[in-house]
């Protein structure tokens, strides 16, 4: 969901930091939202990977 803060991200590069990566859904949702809000690049850093299974 894009809010009225679109102009604050236009042309910006954003690095997401997450504590645990399990399925990637959280990072994916956040990255898509940030791109829709105008970010030109979105990366992610994760502190721990939790394997499924």
pLDDT digits (tens, 9 = 90+) for 29-39: 999 999 998 99
pLDDT of 3 reads 58
- Is 18 a member of any domain? yes
pTM assigned to the model: 0.78
- Is 29 a member of any domain? yes
Q: Is the pLDDT of residue 25 over 60?
A: yes
pLDDT of 52 reads 83
- Is 31 a member of any domain? yes
- Is 1 a member of any domain? no
Segments forming the whole domain that contains residue 45: 6-49
Count of domains in the chain? Answer: 1
Helix, strand, coil: what percent of the chain each, to 5?
A: 30, 35, 35
pLDDT band at 51 (very low <50, low <70, confident <90, very high): confident
pLDDT of 4 reads 62
Q: Is the pLDDT of residue 6 over 60?
A: no
């Amino acid at each position: 969901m894009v809010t009225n803060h679109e102009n604050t991200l236009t042309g910006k590069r954003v690095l997401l930091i997450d504590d645990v990566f399990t399925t990637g859904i959280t990072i994916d949702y956040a990255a898509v939202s940030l791109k829709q809000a105008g970010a030109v690049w979105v990366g992610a850093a994760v502190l721990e990977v939790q394997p499924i299974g």
